[in-house]
Structure 1
Amino acid sequence: MRTERKPTRLDRVFARLDREPERPAHIDMPRMSRHRTVLFGSTLAFYVAIVWAVVITSWLVRLDWRVMFFRPYEQWAQLHAFVDYYVVLGQRGPTAVMVAAWLGWRSWRQHTLRPLLALGVSLLLLNITVGAAKYGMGRLGPHYATEIGSSEMWLGGSIFPSGHTANAVVTWGILAYLASTPRARRWLSALSAVTSLGVGLSTVYLGTHWLSDVLLGWVAGLLILLALPWFEPMIARAEDRIFDWRDRWRERRSARQGRTVPVAPLPAAAPVMLRPLTDREDTAVPEPVSASRSATRSPVYLAPGPHTGRAERTPVTPTGSRRPSHGERHPRGSAPSARP
C-alpha cells in the first residue's frame, strides 16, 4: 500500500519559489560599472586617509578631543532619552531582524532568494572588514582615554571604526540597493543616509565614539555597498545550488515513498451467538463456553433467586451428592428473573 506524504511548510515555500518571478523584467542585477569602480576607489582612498590622519595624530585627533571636552550629552541633556532609543537603529541584532523580515517578504513575493542572500553577504563582509579593523587598530574610546591629545591607537580597544555607524549604512542601505524601481531607490537611499547619519552623530553625542570613528564607519559601510556587485555572480551560484540541493532532496524522498509496504489483511471478527430470550429472561445471554474451559474453572455460586425444582439443579460434587434444597436456587447457567 502506498501512503501519500502530507506536504510540509518547507515544501510549500519551495513550491512558491518555483513560480515565475513577479518583479518587472527590466530590473537587472547591479553591475560593477566604470562609474561605480571609480567611486569605490575614491572611497577606499578616503578610508586610508582617515586612518593615516588618526595614526599620525593630526588635526582630526585634536578635533576628536575638542568634541569630547564639549560633552554634547551635557549641553543638550533634554535629548538624552530620545538618543538612547534612536541609537538602537544601528545595533546589528534588531536592525538585522527588521530588515531580514522585509527582505524575506520580498523573496516570497518575487520568488527568489537573492534579497536574503544579498543581506547575508553584506553582513558577512561587514563583520569581516569592520571587525578586523577594530581589533587590528585597537583604539580606545573617549570614556577610556589615557592621555589627552593622543590618538589612543593600539591600546586594546575596539571602537575604530564605529560599528553602529557602519551597520546602519549597510543594513538600511541594502534596501536601496535591492529596490525594484528608480524612484524607490532614490527614496530609500535618502532614508538610509539620514538614518545612518543620525546613528553616527548619536554615538558622538553619547560619548561612546570619537568623531573620526564615525567618519570611518560611514566610509566602511559605503565601501561594502559599492562592492556588492562583485559578489552578485556568487549570490546567483549560491541560489542555484540551494535549488539543486532541494531537487535532489525531493528525488530521494520520492524514491523512499515509492516503495510499497505489504500490509497483512485483518482477520475477520468471529460472530457472537446469542441465545433467544425466554419468558423468565429479560437480557441476552451468550452461549456457554466449551467444556474444556468450563472444567478448569471453579464452580460459581449465583446469588439467591426464585424457587426452582430439585431436578433442575446440577450436581456440585463429582460423586453426585446434592446439597440440601434451597428455596431460592435457580438452574446453573441461567440468569435470575427480574424481581417484582
Structure 2
Amino acid sequence: MRTDIFARLDREPEPPKIEIPRMSRHRIALFGGTLAFYLAIVVAVLVSSWLVALDWKVMLFRPYQQWPELHAFLDYYVVLGQRGPTAVMVASWLGWRSWRQHTLRPLLTLGTSLLLLNVTVGAVKFGLGRLGPHYATQIGSAELFAGGDIFPSGHTANAVVTWGILAYLATTPRARRYLSALSAFVSLGVGLTTVYIGTHWLSDVLLGWAAGLLIMLALPWFEPLITRAETWILSVRARWRVRLGLRRPAPGGPGSPAPVVLPQSLSGTSNSTGTGITDAEKSCPAPETSGSVAHTGAGGRTRAHSPHAVRSERAPLTPAGSRRPPHADRAARGGTAPAHPVTGGPVAP
C-alpha cells in the first residue's frame, strides 16, 4: 500500500472548472453604492465634519490602555493585514492550485488585485497626506496634507483583498460562502485592531474597507485581460520549451520529418508480376529509421534513403515465373498435357 501523498494526489480528480464571475446588475449596484460610500468618507474628512470629531474621541479614549491584556495577542493578529506575509501565504496556496488545475488564472487574479490595490490606495494615501493618531499636532484637525500616508488604512484594504480573493476563486458555492464570511471577519478584526493599537483613525479603517471592497467588485472587468495574459504566457512557455529541446514540436510544424513517398515502380497494385506491393504490406506503414535523409529524384518524387532498405523497397532477386528454361517438348505449366498409358508400350498412332 502506497502512502506517498503525491501519489494519492495524482489519483485525485481535478476540481471542476468554475464559471468566471461577470459584472451582473447586482454587482454593479454594489459597486456604485460602495463608491458613493467611499466618496462620502473622503468628503467628510476633507471638511472636518462629525467623522473627524469621532476620530479624536476614539483616539483620546486610548483603547490600548482600557484593555491592555489584549495588546500582546492583537500585535500578532494585525499581521494578517500586512501585505508581505499575507501575499506570500495566499500566493503559495494559489500556486498549488494553479499547478493542480493546470491554469495560471489564480495567480494572475491575485497579481491583478494587488496591483490595483497598490495603485488606488497608494495614490489616495500620498495625495491626501494625512498624519496618524500618534503624530497628530492639533486636536480636532483632520491632519491632511501634512506628509502622512495612513488614509485609507492599507492594512484593512489589504486584508479585504488578500483574503477575499480566496472567496472570489472558490470552486463551489459553499466554499465561496464560507470563505467570504472568513475574509469579512479577518478584515473587520484587522481594521479594529489598528484602531485599538492607535496606528489609524476610525475613518481610515472605514475608507480601507470601502477601498478593498471596490477592488473585489471590479475584478470581473479585468477577467478578459487575465485570460489574454494567461494565453500569451503559456504560448511563450511552449515556444521556449521547444527551443530548449524539452518538448517535440507539434506534427506538421517546423522540424517535423518529411513523409515517405514510394516511387511509381514500387507503388503498383498488381501482384501478378511479383514487383508490386502486397495488401499486407500496404496496410503496414514503412518503419521510420534514424538518420534518414529525403531527396528528390526524377519526376519530382520524394524518397527517403535509410541505412537499411525496407522489404518493399528491395528489388526482386529472381525474375517472375518459373526458374526452368523453356523446352520444346514440354508443355507450359497449367496447360493440357498429352495422355500417357498406365502400362508400357508404344502409343498407337
Q: TM-score, normalised by structure 2?
A: 0.66
Structure-to-structure mapping, 1:1-340, within 5 angstroms: 22-25=14-17, 27-254=18-245
Specify every segment of 5 or more residues in structure 1 that has no aligned partner in the other structure, as ranges: 1-20, 261-340
The percent of aligned pairs where both chains have the same amino acid is 77
Instruction: Measure, in 1, the Cα distance between the counterparts of 2:241 and 2:207.
Output: 48
Query: 1:81, 1:167 → 2: CA distance?
Result: 22
Deviations 1:42-80 (A, max 9, x none): 101110000000000000000000000000000000100
Secondary structure at the aligned position of 1:254 is classed as coil
How far did 1:22 drift?
2.4
Q: Distance in 2 between matches of 1:59 and 1:82?
A: 32
In the superposition, relative to structure 1, how do residues 256 and 198 fare at CA in structure 2: closer, same or farther (>3 Å)?
closer
Show the counterpart of 1:294. Answer: none
**Higher relative contact order structure (alpha carbons within 8 Å, sequence separation ≥ 6):** 1
Aligned partner of 2:14: which letter? E
Q: Distance between the aligned counterparts of 2:187 and 2:24, measured in 1?
A: 25
For the pair shown, which has the larger CA radius of gyration, 1 or 2? 1
Q: Which amino acid aligns with 2:163?
A: W
Asked if the contact 1:22/1:111 (under 8 Å) is kept, the reply is no
- Residues 113, 150 of structure 1: alpha-carbon distance in 2 compared, 3 angstrom cutoff: same
Equivalent pairs, count: 238
Spell out, residue by residue over 1:3-58, the C-alpha distance to the aligned partner (whole angstroms, 9 max, x if none).
xxxxxxxxxxxxxxxxxx92324x20001111111111110111000000000000
CA, structure 1 residues 253+83, in 2 after alignment: closer, same or farther (shift >3 Å)? same
Amino acid at match of 1:250: R
Q: 1:256 to 1:239 in 2, by over 3 A?
A: closer
Question: What RMSD over aligned residues (CA atoms) do the two structures have, in Å?
Answer: 1.7
Residue deviations 1:178-204 (CA, integer Å, cap 9, x gap): 000000000000000000000000000
CA distance 1:255–1:135, shift in 2 (3 Å): closer
The amino acid of 1:23's aligned partner reads P
Local SS of the residue matching 1:160 = coil
Answer yes or no: is the 8 Å Cα contact 2:241–2:247 preserved in 1: no
Report the Cα distance in structure 2 between the residues aligned to 1:67 and 1:230, rounded to whole angstroms. Answer: 38
- 2 CA distance for matches of 1:244 and 1:138? 44
Conserved 8 A contact 1:179-1:185:
yes
Give yes or no for contact 2:117–2:158 (8 Å, CA) kept in 1: yes
Rounded to whole Å, the distance in 2 between the matches of 1:35 and 1:168 is 23
Note the C-alpha offset of 1:110: 1.1
Work out whether residues 55 and 202 of structure 2, in 8 Å CA contact, stay in contact via their aligned partners in 1. Answer: yes
TM-score by length of 1: 0.68
Letter in 2 for 1:159: I
Which AA in structure 2 matches 1:28? E
Separation in structure 1 between the aligned mates of residue 117 and residue 247 of structure 2, nearest angstrom: 43
